[in-house]
Amino acid sequence: MQTTAIISIVAGMLIGCTTSTEKIDRQSSGTTRATSADPSSRRELKNTVYSTQPFAVKTGNLPSRYWGVNLEQLSRPLLDLQVKSFKNEFETTEQQRERVRQLKSNVLLGPLTLHSVYAFSFEPDFSEYDADRQVLKVIFSTNYCCLYLHDYVGSDEAFRWTAYVTNENRYPAKNAFGVERTVDSHNVNWYGLVVQNLRDFRVQKRNGFSQLTFKIHIAPIEAKALKMNLRILLLCELHTPFLSLQQLKTSAPTIKNPVDETTDYSFVHVRLLQARTYDVNSGIVYSTLSRESAQ
């Protein structure tokens, strides 16, 4: 398997770079403590019932407790499709094309295929109520930008679906001057959505990130309850390259900040059809943003 064609290790994008006098190196001796990371985002993944059904765009209100498709689960068959699409030395180009065509017609998750409409549910980034105007303003922002990948040419932004920590351990280390620190080491598993046609929607830029803005006209008492249960639903179609992977050293240990963090990013690529705000408890849809309304 040509791993380099799947995973892009991007150099020069290190967060928390250090000077040579601060850099600390792992010692050859010492103990390692392994812990089972289970933050709240990971618990939600385990306990939530997700949909595996294609979404009908004309659907109005949603079922109660609707969480859409599990993006992490979807990324696994997409990766499998990528790996199996490589040409092997014993098949002709035509044979490979036919094999890939067959692969792309298979189901990915339940009855979902590459041609289905997918619904992904997210938490909004910000919401604020204007009592005078009786308007709830909701902002949903990308969490990642400047995406340069081996198998995807372009610069895009991604909405974070979930991120959780694994492989936690600690090890002793010291710098060139013999100053010792205990380094906290862990991996972050980050799953997100790259919307390739985000510019087709009414987006604003803030600090390099794009924002979708919704305005819900609602009475104060209802707005207060809605803020607790508000979700963003993105209705999408999968788009090539379908999945991109990236691994970054997001924190190199220093004397002042002895944290060794590596982040594995999984980006599912889509084209956005609609964005909605809804109450996850009742399923009531409060506002919809489409390409037509944005234009």
Q: Domain-by-domain residue ranges, the chain?
A: 3-25+121-294
pLDDT recorded at residue 29: 27
pLDDT recorded at residue 246: 87
pLDDT recorded at residue 152: 52
> Residue written as tokens 């390739």?
196
pLDDT band at 151 (very low <50, low <70, confident <90, very high): low
Q: Locate 1 and state its tokens.
A: 């398997």
Percent of the chain with pLDDT over 70: 80
More confident residue, 128 or 23: 128
Tell me the mean pLDDT in the region 10-22.
Answer: 29
Q: Locate 219 and state its tokens.
A: 């009475």
**Which of 87-91, 121-125, 280-284 shows the lowest per-residue confidence on average (mean pLDDT)?**
87-91
SS3 state at 21 = coil
> Residue written as tokens 């199996």?
84
Q: Please, what sign has the CA dihedral across residues 271, 273, 279, 282?
A: negative
Q: If 0-12 CB within 10 Å is exposed, 13-18 middle and 19+ buried, where does residue 76 land?
A: middle
Nearest by Cα to 192 from 250, 143, 140, 138: 143
- Of 13-17, 133-137, 244-248, 252-256, the range with the highest mean pLDDT is 133-137
Tell me the mean pLDDT in the region 261-276.
Answer: 95
pLDDT recorded at residue 18: 27
> Residue written as tokens 């909405």?
159
More confident residue, 268 or 17: 268
For residue 182, is pLDDT > 50? Answer: yes
Whether 261 and 163 have beta carbons less than 8 Å apart is answered as: no
Q: Locate 222 and state its tokens.
A: 């209802």
Dist. CA 152–CA 169, nearest whole Å: 33
Mean pLDDT of the chain: 83
For residue 1, is pLDDT > 60? Answer: no
Dist. CA 90–CA 62, nearest whole Å: 49
Contacts of 259 (CB under 8 A, 6+ apart): 16, 183, 184, 185, 251, 253
Nearest by Cα to 51 from 66, 73, 72, 61: 66
Q: Please, what sign has the CA dihedral across residues 141, 158, 109, 72?
A: negative
The pTM of this model reads: 0.81
